[in-house]
């Protein structure tokens, strides 16, 4: 009988200490199998140390935006077309890619990838922070083939844009489901009991429940729930013994990104 494979991924490693601690805890105590790393962010070095200490598989979370009001980050390269007057990345995907010059974006992409490689970590996959536009599709297609790194195949259609990519049968993004634990857990249970043989991804945004998350941005920010509430809910699910039981009772195999099928190379 064919196996059911599940990859449990948490985004935004390196963003801030609460996210770093949450991802490390989710990997060592929960069902998390993978994360992805934001090279320009303030807590990158701490994330690298945690990844090495716990042998957490990491991809690159290509970062061309900085969404919060108070917790900001800059590109690793000059990238003048990609920053606000204060030198930090633009806040939205639309603004970032409307103004970005593709050569500067390519230089920044490579700098982020090479920073992770220089830290001594191997990159299992690539994906974009906050979403992508057409310009990024072409860049991913060229550079991921060059670097032999598969795309997570999430926001962009990797097949349509000829991007080397991971192959999934389904994706469940729990961070986008419900504002309470009961709703989110019920939806997760329904999905886990519906998936069949093949490879599936559960996408999360884990963080420990710490007040510092609410200091990233103003309460009036449109994505304020993404600072603390959504992440703490995901953290709870990834650590939940009942969720682990659902996975084990169905014989679902927790499978890291590095063991998933790829196409497009």
Closest by CA position to 158, among listed 130, 129, 128: 128
pLDDT tens for each residue of the chain, 265 residues long:
689 999 999 999 999 999 999 999 999 999 999 999 999 999 999 999 999 999 999 999 999 999 999 999 999 999 999 999 999 999 999 999 998 999 999 999 999 999 999 999 999 999 999 988 888 899 999 999 999 999 998 889 999 999 999 999 999 999 999 889 999 999 999 999 999 999 999 999 999 999 999 999 999 999 999 999 999 999 999 999 999 999 999 999 999 999 999 999 9
pLDDT value, residue 135: 85
Query: What sections of the chain are H helices per DSSP?
Result: 17-29, 44-54, 93-99, 102-118, 134-147, 181-192, 229-239, 241-249
Contact 10, 26 (CB under 8 A): yes
Q: Cα separation of 226 and 159, whole Å?
A: 30
Residue 216 backbone dihedrals phi, psi, to 5 degrees: -70, -30
All structural domains of the chain: 4-263 (3.20.20.370)
Which residue is listed with tokens 């992508």?
132
31 SS3 class:
coil
pTM: 0.97
pLDDT value, residue 82: 96
Joined tokens for residue 31: 């069902």
pLDDT value, residue 2: 85
What residues have CB less than 8 Å from 99, skipping those under 6 apart?
81, 82, 90
> Around Cβ 206, how many Cβ atoms within 10 Å?
33
């Amino acid at each position: 009988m064919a196996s059911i494979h599940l990859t449990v991924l948490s985004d935004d490693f390196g963003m801030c200490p609460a996210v770093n601690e949450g991802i490390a805890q989710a990997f060592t105590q929960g069902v998390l199998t993978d994360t992805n790393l934001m090279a320009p962010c303030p807590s990158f070095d701490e994330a690298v140390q945690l990844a090495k200490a716990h042998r957490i598989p990491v991809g690159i979370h290509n970062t061309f935006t900085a969404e919060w009001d108070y917790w900001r980050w800059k590109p690793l390269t000059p990238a003048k077309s990609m920053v606000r007057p204060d030198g930090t990345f633009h806040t939205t995907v639309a603004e970032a890619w409307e103004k970005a010059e593709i050569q500067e974006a390519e230089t920044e992409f490579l700098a982020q990838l090479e920073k992770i490689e220089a830290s001594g970590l191997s990159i299992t996959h690539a994906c974009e922070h906050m979403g992508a536009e057409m310009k990024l599709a072409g860049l991913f297609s060229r550079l991921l083939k060059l670097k032999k790194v598969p795309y997570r195949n999430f926001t962009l259609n990797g097949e349509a844009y000829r991007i080397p990519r991971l192959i999934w049968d389904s994706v469940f993004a729990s961070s986008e489901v419900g504002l309470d634990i009961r709703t989110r857990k019920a939806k997760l249970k329904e999905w886990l009991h519906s998936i069949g043989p093949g490879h599936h991804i559960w996408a999360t945004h884990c963080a420990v429940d710490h007040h510092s998350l609410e200091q990233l941005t103003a309460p009036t920010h449109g994505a304020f729930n993404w600072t603390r509430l959504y992440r703490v809910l995901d953290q709870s699910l990834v650590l939940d013994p009942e969720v682990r039981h659902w996975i084990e009772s169905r014989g679902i195999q927790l499978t890291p990104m590095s063991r998933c099928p790829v196409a497009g190379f």
